[in-house]
């Protein structure tokens, strides 16, 4: 330890960790990043990025299946599942390499192994290629993220039972799958596998799929998934999972009805839990909440001075873009580059088809909060662009304060929803009213016109409905 201590050592190389390290590098700080597996973390290696590569393959299949609608006939097509999965891995490889390049460019020292904080100001690497190395740091940022939650007593073997991580390196396409948990990850895999021809059961304990979204969104997705041939089973709990050699059998319990389902594979997408094992030395304690998420103050500082935390490890909403934002804010604050901001407003995106994107309050939340609200809505079936490209499914729904026209929430389901939501996020961030959105000229013909029309519809001024 003859060397000068680092200004910052980041533990975790995911969207929080790598962004923090790069940002510190940009600010001219001496910085290191310790990553347990590979630069990019879960998002880039086991989450957002490789799953989008898979979904693009499914979209390609869908495009071929519907080619004749556009006058193109396809005699025969074949999905090479190994190649589909292989491309997804190679996209992760490429992006991980990109992060390593950015580390070099921004003079971030990169260590591979498990980062452990034996005491304040020190980091030891306790596994991996850099095992045994010890670093000194003026500041530490914990960005160790989360991992998929498992079911007690159910072994994840990657064949009969998978989490999203194992699903991203599936060796064979299952003939049938039960997806347990219909949040974003669950419905994305459901769309992917169903489109490729797997018999797909979507099982959700709560009373609707994508239960965090606005109720209208859940209904629309459910209708669409059923039309796509999936079995959608909300309000259903899974009991008595029996794992056999070639299949998994389970009881599906809905109110007082019970039925048995046998599938080749089960995919567990029932949420996440924090990665804190082996992080802290015996005497060091960071305050956490009941579920084990690290608590931070407005500057992202933990209960220990000079130890910060950001990203999934500080709790929901467990989104890569939120993690990155928090991490950059934490670093900016740490080094006196402006006052760090906590996250109040963020989009959520789900990349199945139809896509879902939302920001802010659902209608139920607005009602429960006793707000006098107004709803604006525009269906894509009335959009020239949507009809021209044969994507008339879905709608834009806007919740706004009836008094001040303030946008409280927005919910989109349909083609390109995940790109379209950005306009509303910016509007909410900048406190732009729906009138101003309506007064902004949207290009014709685009899907984005629907956002202006939904805004106009709150005052009954939409032209196309």
Query: For residues 97-156, which are near a copy of itself according to CB under 8 A?
Result: 98, 102
Instruction: Tell me whether residue 154 is exposed, middle or buried, using C-beta atoms within 10 angstroms of its C-beta: 0 to 12, 13 to 18, 19 or more.
Output: middle
- Residue whose CB is less far from a copy of itself, 294 or 331: 331
Q: How far is the CB of 85 from a copy of itself (least distance, A)?
A: 8
Q: Per-residue x/- marks for a copy of itself, 297-326, CB under 8 A?
A: ----------------------xxxx-xx-
Q: Which of residues 397-436 bind a copy of itself (CB under 8 A)?
A: 416, 418-423, 425-427, 429-430, 432, 436
Provide the pairing of β-strand 161-163 with 265-268: parallel
Q: Per-residue x/- marks for a copy of itself, 352-391, CB under 8 A?
A: -----x------------------------x-xx-xxxx-
Q: Return the residue of 127, 165, 346, 377 that touches a copy of itself, per CB under 8 A.
A: 346
Dist CA 15 CA 350 (whole Å) = 18
- Residue whose CB is less far from a copy of itself, 297 or 341: 341
φ, ψ for residue 60, nearest 5 deg:
-65, -45
Residue 39 CA, distance from chain mean position: 18
Dist CA 385 CA 379 (whole Å) = 12
* Site size with a copy of itself, rule: CB under 8 A: 97
The single residue of 442, 444, 459, 464 carrying the catalytic annotation is 444
Within 10 A of 329 (CB to CB), how many other CB atoms are there? 23
Q: Is 64 helix (H, G, I), strand (E, B) or coil?
A: helix
The region of 17-25, 137-145, 240-248, 306-314 touching a copy of itself under the rule CB under 8 A is 17-25
Which two tokens mark 179?
Answer: 């997806």
Q: How far is the CB of 320 from a copy of itself (least distance, A)?
A: 4
Q: How far is the CB of 408 from a copy of itself (least distance, A)?
A: 17
Q: How far is the CB of 291 from a copy of itself (least distance, A)?
A: 23
Active site residue 201: no
Per-residue b/e over 190-217, b at no fewer than 16 CB within 10 Å? bbbbbbbebbbbbbbbbebbbeebbebb
Q: Return the residue of 1, 2, 4, 75 that touches a copy of itself, per CB under 8 A.
A: 75
The region of 164-172, 181-189, 209-217, 437-445 touching a copy of itself under the rule CB under 8 A is 437-445
The region of 68-76, 222-230, 237-245, 275-283 touching a copy of itself under the rule CB under 8 A is 68-76
Rounded to a whole number of angstroms, the CA Rg of the chain reads 24
- Residue whose CB is less far from a copy of itself, 1 or 443: 443
Q: How far is the CB of 438 from a copy of itself (least distance, A)?
A: 10
User: Which of 311, 306, 281 shows the shortest CA–CA distance to 117?
Assistant: 281
Q: How far is the CB of 1 from a copy of itself (least distance, A)?
A: 30
DSSP for residue 292: S
Dist CA 177 CA 198 (whole Å) = 7
Q: Return the residue of 94, 171, 226, 367 that touches a copy of itself, per CB under 8 A.
A: 94
Q: How far is the CB of 13 from a copy of itself (least distance, A)?
A: 13
Asked whether position 195 contacts a copy of itself by CB under 8 A, the answer is no
Residue 108 bridge partners (DSSP): 31
Q: Per-residue x/- marks for a copy of itself, 36-55, CB under 8 A?
A: -------xx---xxx-xx--
- Residue whose CB is less far from a copy of itself, 93 or 304: 93
* Helix or strand run (H / E) with residue 142: strand 134-142
Contacts of 234 (CB under 8 A, 6+ apart): 182, 204, 206, 207, 208, 209, 222
- Residue whose CB is less far from a copy of itself, 180 or 420: 420
Dist CA 358 CA 409 (whole Å) = 7
Dist CA 160 CA 155 (whole Å) = 9
User: Which of 416, 392, 419, 353 shows the shortest CA–CA distance to 190?
Assistant: 353
Q: Please give the positions annotated as active site.
A: 444
């Amino acid at each position: 330890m003859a060397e000068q201590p680092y200004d910052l050592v980041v533990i975790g190389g995911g969207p929080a960790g790598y962004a923090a390290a790069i940002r510190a590098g940009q600010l001219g700080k001496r910085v290191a990043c310790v990553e347990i597996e590979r630069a990019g973390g879960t998002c880039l290696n086991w989450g957002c990025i490789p799953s989008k590569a898979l979904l693009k393959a499914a979209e390609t299949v869908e495009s071929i299946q519907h080619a004749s609608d556009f006058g193109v006939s396809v005699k025969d097509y074949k999905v090479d599942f190994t190649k589909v999965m292989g491309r997804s891995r190679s996209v992760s490889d490429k992006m991980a390499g990109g992060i390593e390049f950015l580390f070099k460019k921004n003079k971030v020292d990169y260590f591979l192994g498990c980062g452990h904080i034996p005491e304040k100001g020190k980091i030891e690497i306790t596994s991996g290629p850099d095992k045994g190395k010890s670093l000194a740091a003026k500041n530490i940022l914990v960005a160790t993220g989360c991992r998929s939650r498992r079911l007690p007593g159910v072994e994840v073997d990657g064949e009969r039972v998978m989490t999203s991580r194992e699903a991203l390196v599936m060796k064979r396409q299952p003939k049938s799958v039960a997806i347990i948990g219909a949040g974003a990850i669950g419905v994305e895999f459901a769309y992917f596998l169903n489109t490729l021809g797997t018999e797909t059961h979507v099982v959700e304990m709560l009373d609707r799929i994508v239960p965090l979204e606005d109720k209208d969104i859940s209904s629309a997705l459910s209708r669409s998934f059923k039309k796509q041939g999936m079995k959608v089973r909300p309000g259903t709990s899974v009991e008595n999972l029996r794992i056999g050699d070639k299949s998994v059998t389970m009881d599906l319990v809905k109110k007082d009805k019970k039925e048995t389902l046998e599938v080749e594979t089960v995919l567990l997408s029932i949420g996440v839990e924090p990665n804190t094992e082996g992080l802290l030395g015996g005497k060091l304690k960071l305050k956490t909440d009941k579920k084990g998420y690290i608590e931070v103050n407005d500057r992202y500082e933990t209960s220990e001075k000079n130890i910060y935390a950001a990203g999934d490890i500080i709790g929901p909403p467990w989104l890569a873009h939120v993690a990155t934002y928090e991490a950059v804010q934490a670093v900016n604050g740490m080094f006196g580059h402006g006052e760090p901001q906590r996250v109040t407003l963020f989009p959520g995106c789900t990349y199945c088809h139809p896509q879902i994107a939302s920001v802010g309050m659902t209608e139920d939340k607005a009602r429960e909060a006793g707000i006098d609200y107004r709803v604006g809505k525009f269906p894509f079936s009335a959009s020239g662009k949507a009809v021209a490209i044969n994507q008339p499914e879905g709608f834009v729904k806007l919740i706004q304060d009836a008094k001040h026209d303030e946008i409280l929430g927005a919910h989109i389901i349909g083609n390109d929803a995940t790109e379209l939501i950005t306009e509303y996020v910016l509007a909410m961030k900048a406190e732009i009213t729906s009138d101003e959105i309506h007064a902004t000229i949207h290009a014709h013909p685009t899907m984005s016109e629907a956002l202006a029309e939904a805004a106009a519809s709150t005052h009954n001024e939409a032209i196309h409905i």
